[in-house]
Structure 1
Amino acid sequence: MTKPVFLLVASFPDSLIKFRGPLIEALLAAGCHVHVAVPGLDPHSDIATRLSALGVQAYDIPLQRTGMNPLKDLSALFALRKLMRQIRVDYVLSYTIKPVIYGSLAAWMAGVTNRFALITGLGYAFTGEATGLRKVLRVLIQQLYRFSLSRNRLVFFQNPDDESLFRQLKLLKPAIPSRVVNGSGVDVAEYAVLPLPEAPAFLLIARLLGDKGVREYAQAAALVKAQYPEAVFRLVGWIDDNPDAIRQQELDSWIAAGTLEFLGKLADVRPAIAESGVYVLPSYREGTPRTVLEAMAMGRAVITTDAPGCRETVVDGDNGYLVPVQDVNSLAEAMIRLIEQPEPVALMGARSRTIAEEKYDVHKVNAVMLREMKLT
């Protein structure tokens, strides 16, 4: 029996191993020939080497992750169609905005039978006030989603709010089925529970975007440190080429003031999580935040927002606290509560680990996806 050819279309090389590595391994175990298409993949990089070691063929595609040049996007569309025809693809799964749009259309144009999309979050165009560039982007992306998603057999979402919104906005036709999965999952075996630090220490890991709540984190940290100067607030991430990116001057000012300890972009976030007692993500909206799942797997209490994607990870008062979006005072109050009454931190962390094992184990998440794609 001929093995099915499966193509994964992504926008960022790092995500292939970090977020989709276990899925790739599950597809290989299910008997697929796995290929990946992604822009900016260095053939000599560690990612390319690791993909090759798995027996995965990788292709560099001319897709601009954040650009708005329609000619370049058309070039990516036709390059994907050509690739799909060339390797005779049977299954396509695309994730993140541009791969979903152009991967879905290319698969339809190439006559691929099994076309799937994974909505991992809504991004800059859907969050914040719809004015100026954001308003133009929102209208454009909604039209592109409406056209491209109708070409899929099934659309995966990472939280029920996103699924509901797409249905409400008619971005997804009633005839196209959808399925909510528990994020990208986390390999709980790779994220061991380690002892909590003695001093109060908080951590945020994120691309340095306004919509991730980075400014609220810095402002809340300043309020808390005014009362509890011994508290430590660490930030892991990098400045993204996104219209909503934090400015370098802002970051420098937080560091100079002693508000935040900036650790930069880390290939392995586990040491940073180990040095924190509480993980904080004040995001405005997520698919399902992978960093929260990693912190939960390592037995950390979580403070996050009562926002789509975030609220699914925390039971308020059980494994952490939920705070309103963009509410600096509530965020600071939740942090102070865990400084003044530190006993619940360990209990909340233990609950986080249990929830990660029961709900977010990557192998359970991937099993659902493979079953829905009729590969098991």
Structure 2
Amino acid sequence: MNIAIIGAFPRSLINFRGGLIKILAQQYKVNAIASGAIDYEVELLSSLGATYLNCPIQRNGLNPIKDIVTCLSISRIINIHEIDIVLAYTVKPVIWGGIASRLVGARHFYAIITGLGYAFQKGGIAKNLLNSLVKFLYRVALKKSKGVIFQNRDNMQVFIDEEIVPQDKCFLVNGSGVDLSHYQVSPLSPKPHFLLIARLLGDKGIREYVKAAKIVKQQYPEAVFELVGPEDPSPDGIKLNEVNKWVSSGAIEYSGATTDVRPFIENCSIYVLPSYHEGMPRTVLEAMAMGRPILTTDVPGCRETVVNGENGWLVEKANVEQLVERMVWFIENQNQWPVMGKKSHTMANEKFDVHQVNAEILKIMGLSDEKTV
């Protein structure tokens, strides 16, 4: 059995699918397909048991020529390496991996929908046209799929309602999971230290986070509001010069990008993600695993991570006033931090353990047995 896992970035394959690759490599030949791996990333994938195969995949952008090249490159790889099973995740790997699989007749194609993304958000004429195009491409890519795996029920229902994929091909898992041995509980910071880790995108709720921080700091100047994350080339991307203005105003602290979120989570007391939409937010799961209270939005993906009032709070998306209200609540109820943090850790153990999630994915793909699970 020859298996290919397609992601946009090598680092994503390592961080999000590393455990799955390692399990599959115990019995099958595993090929990791992504774009632009450096030597260190190739070595890491090799240590997991996978052979890295380079393919020009853009995570963002609307260049049809580059997308056609991506599709043809994946087709060529599937053909040359005689791939039996293809598993793809995120938008472009799913679309072009699915279409490529159909072109060359790969036996089994599976997709993981990690979120609906910018293209599914309502807006003006241009965004609505993009929405229609992406839905059409998904229909073409998933028509012959053996299974489509979703990370929350809301996203799954959208695909069913839009007739992108029939219900009998849909499966549900609890996100990408989190390795509880890697993200261990650490003591809470004694001061009100809020943290948001995200790519610099408007629909991550970063601007609302900054606005709320400015308001809260007027009453509680000792509160810290930290932002961690890289720039993003998406049309929704936030430029660094805007971030630098926020820092200069004293609203937030910006700590740049990171390959290891653990030190930042260790330093915070409350984890915040005011996102507009998610599949299942990985950084929230990591913060839960490390015993942090959560403040996030009542939207698909995020709402699955919080029992309101128990391990954190849910607020309406794009609602600065509610963010401020709950941030103030956290500052004024410090005795609840450890209670909520403990509940977060318990939930991470019960629902989001990566080993449980990978076992479910293997079962969906018909590859589970006593050795792999």
Question: 1:1-376 counterparts in 2 under 5 A?
Answer: 4-29=1-26, 31-42=27-38, 44=39, 46-127=40-121, 129-174=122-167, 176-376=168-368
**C-alpha contact (below 8 Å) 1:92/1:112 kept by paired residues:** yes
TM-score by length of 1: 0.96
One-letter code aligned to 1:219? K
Structure 1: how far apart are the matches of 2:165 and 2:49?
A: 35
> Any stretches of 5+ residues in structure 2 without a counterpart?
369-373
Structure 1: how far apart are the matches of 2:217 and 2:199?
A: 23
**C-alpha contact (below 8 Å) 1:8/1:93 kept by paired residues:** yes
One-letter code aligned to 1:164? Q
TM superposition shift of 1:55: 3.0
One-letter code aligned to 2:13? L
**C-alpha contact (below 8 Å) 2:94/2:112 kept by paired residues:** yes
TM superposition shift of 1:312: 0.3
**C-alpha contact (below 8 Å) 1:150/1:173 kept by paired residues:** no
**C-alpha contact (below 8 Å) 2:61/2:234 kept by paired residues:** no
Answer with 79-88 or 224-233: which moved more.
Answer: 79-88
After superposition, the C-alpha distances for 1:146-185 in whole angstroms (9 at most, x for unaligned) are 11111201000000000001111111135x5110100000
One-letter code aligned to 1:124? Y
> Any stretches of 5+ residues in structure 1 without a counterpart?
none
TM superposition shift of 1:132: 4.0
One-letter code aligned to 1:265? A
TM superposition shift of 1:90: 1.2
Structure 1: how far apart are the matches of 2:317 and 2:141?
A: 31
After superposition, the C-alpha distances for 1:22-52 in whole angstroms (9 at most, x for unaligned) are 11112123x111101112223x2x2111112
Structure 1: how far apart are the matches of 2:229 and 2:260?
A: 12
TM superposition shift of 1:280: 0.2
After superposition, the C-alpha distances for 1:267-320 in whole angstroms (9 at most, x for unaligned) are 111010001010000000000000000000000000000000000000000100
**C-alpha contact (below 8 Å) 1:105/1:151 kept by paired residues:** no
Structure 1 stretches of at least 4 aligned residues deviating more than 4 Å after TM superposition? none
TM superposition shift of 1:249: 2.7
Structure 1: how far apart are the matches of 2:13 and 2:89?
A: 11
**C-alpha contact (below 8 Å) 2:270/2:294 kept by paired residues:** yes
Structure 2: how far apart are the matches of 1:355 and 1:310?
A: 14
TM superposition shift of 1:254: 0.8
After superposition, the C-alpha distances for 1:324-373 in whole angstroms (9 at most, x for unaligned) are 01000101110100101111111000000000011000000000000110
**C-alpha contact (below 8 Å) 1:104/1:152 kept by paired residues:** yes
Query: Tell me, what secondary structure is at the counterpart of 2:86?
Result: strand
Answer with 240-249 or 320-329: which moved more.
Answer: 240-249
Structure 1: how far apart are the matches of 2:96 and 2:239?
A: 30
Cα RMSD of the aligned pairs, angstroms, is 1.1
